């Protein structure tokens, strides 16, 4: 779904997108290389992948409960922190609204995920124009873990969502709008009633560079997430294993900052 008329000031949205373009300035490449993968405890990670299966430069960071950002780029880090705080308010509202759509009182999701200590990771992505990419794929198909994933971007183009009929749908987001995607752990909590959908980025027709800001808003790391008892009965047997959010992110040897999906491993 898309959100318009939300509470995030346009200056904050424009500020982060411009800040990312500046941060990814090709002439300052060496400064960012300090955030290349060091190990499992990385709280900030940068890399550039230009291959046949991925074409993007990204910066990922832990945004909540503790905010981490590049210390050498303090003006940019301030903008990112402000964006993160504003987006958390939006997500707090979504947690209430989605609780109600499920027929519960408004704090249902907040409690089920312990969102006050929720683990948020931000990924800031830059996709080159097609002329500079090494193939048609910006980012291969995947789902994302967590409650919801919020996305803002500078220009439309490339993000596709797989429909329930198996067709790739181009996603068009209004200027200054926010795209909301449902995460794996909402699918798990609702025992498959709400689905986390597969998406990808295709750079085929992109004439210009595109920047996106993707925030994965998750439960607290120590919270055990499994299908809520309200969603399980004789007709709807439990479809997913219970696991802490941390363990689900660390499945298959992944690091927390990878925020990789392990939905397939969690299916019963
Ligand atoms: O940049 C996009 O449009 C999507 C990125 C994405 O799916 C992700 O970072 O998980
Ligand atoms: Fe994604």
Model pLDDT for residues 236-267, shown as the tens digit of each residue: 999 999 999 999 999 999 999 999 999 999 99
Q: Which atom of ligand 1 is nearest to the CA of 171?
A: 3
Check residue 72 and give its pLDDT: 83
- Give CA–CA dist 142/259, Å, rounded: 11
**Predicted structure pTM score:** 0.96
- Domain count for the chain, please give it: 1
Q: Give the domain extent around 69.
A: 2-266
Q: How far is the CA of 201 from the centre of ligand 1 (A)?
A: 7
Q: Which atom of ligand 1 is nearest to the CA of 181?
A: 7
**Domain at 116, CATH number:** 2.60.120.330
Q: What was the pLDDT predicted at 168?
A: 97
Residue 41 CA to residue 43 CA, distance in Å, equals: 6
- On average, the pLDDT of the chain sits at 96
Identify the pLDDT of residue 71: 85
Residues with CB under 6 A from ligand 1: 123, 125, 139, 144, 151, 159, 199, 201, 212, 214
Q: For 163-169, what is the mean pLDDT?
A: 95
How far, in Å, from the CA of 142 to the mean position of ligand 2? Answer: 6
- Please report the atom of ligand 1 found closest to the CA of residue 214: 9
What is the SS3 assignment for 145? coil
Report the percentage of the chain scoring pLDDT > 70. 100
Q: Which residue has the tokens 């120590």?
A: 222
Distance in Å, CA 233 to ligand 2 centroid: 31
87-146, pLDDT tens digit by residue? Answer: 999 999 999 999 999 999 999 999 999 999 999 999 999 999 988 889 899 999 999 999
Q: Which ligand 1 atom is the nearest neighbour of the CA of 259?
A: 10
Which ligand does the CA of 183 lie closest to? 2
Give ion ligand 2 contacts, CB < 5 A.
Answer: 144
Cα torsion for 84, 249, 225, 64, to the nearest 10°?
Answer: -20
Q: Measuring from atom 6 of ligand 1, which residue has the nearest CA?
A: 214
User: Which residue puts its alpha carbon closest to atom 1 of ligand 1?
Assistant: 212
Report in angstroms the alpha-carbon separations of 211 from 60, 81, 216, 239: 13, 18, 16, 36
Ligand 1 mutation pick, 121, 197, 199, 203, max ligand atoms within 8 A of CB? 199
Task: Using the mean position of ligand 1's atoms as its centre, give its distance from the Cα of residue 103 in Å.
Answer: 30
Q: How far is the CA of 230 from the centre of ligand 1 (A)?
A: 32
Tell me: pLDDT of 209 over 90.
yes
Q: How far is the CA of 121 from the centre of ligand 1 (A)?
A: 12
Over residues 65-76, the pLDDT tens digits come to 999 999 888 899
DSSP 3-state of 19: helix
- Nearest ligand to the CA of 56 is 1
The mean pLDDT value for 192-218 works out to 95
Residue 89 and residue 87: Cα distance in Å, rounded?
A: 5
> Within a 10 A sphere around the Cβ of 46, how many other Cβ atoms?
22
Residue whose CA is closest, atom 3 of ligand 1? 159
Gap from CA of 148 to ligand 1 centroid (Å): 13
């Amino acid at each position: 779904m898309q959100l318009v008329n939300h509470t995030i000031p346009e200056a904050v949205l424009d500020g982060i997108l411009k800040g990312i373009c500046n941060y990814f300035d090709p002439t300052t490449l060496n400064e960012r290389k300090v955030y290349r993968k060091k190990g499992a405890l990385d709280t900030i990670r940068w890399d550039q992948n230009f291959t046949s299966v991925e074409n993007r430069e990204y910066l990922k960071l832990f945004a909540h409960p503790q905010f981490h950002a590049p210390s050498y780029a303090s003006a940019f880090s301030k903008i990112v922190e402000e964006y993160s705080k504003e987006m958390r308010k939006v997500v707090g509202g979504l947690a209430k609204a989605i609780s109600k759509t499920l027929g519960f009182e408004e704090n249902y999701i907040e409690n089920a995920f312990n969102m006050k200590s929720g683990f948020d990771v931000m990924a800031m992505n830059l996709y080159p124009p097609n002329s500079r990419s090494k193939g048609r794929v910006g980012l291969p198909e995947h789902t994302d873990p967590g409650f919801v994933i919020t996305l803002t971007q500078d220009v439309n183009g490339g993000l596709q969502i797989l429909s329930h009929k198996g067709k790739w749908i181009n996603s068009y987001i209004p200027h200054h709008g926010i795209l909301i995607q449902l995460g794996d752990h909402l699918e798990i909590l609702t025992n498959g009633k709400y689905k986390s959908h597969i998406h990808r980025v295709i750079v085929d027709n992109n004439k210009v560079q595109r920047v996106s800001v993707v925030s994965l808003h998750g439960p607290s790391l120590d919270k055990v997430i499994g299908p809520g008892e309200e969603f399980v009965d004789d007709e709807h047997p439990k479809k997913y294993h219970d696991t802490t959010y941390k363990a689900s992110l660390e499945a298959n040897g992944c690091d927390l900052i990878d925020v990789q999906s392990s939905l397939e491993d969690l299916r019963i």
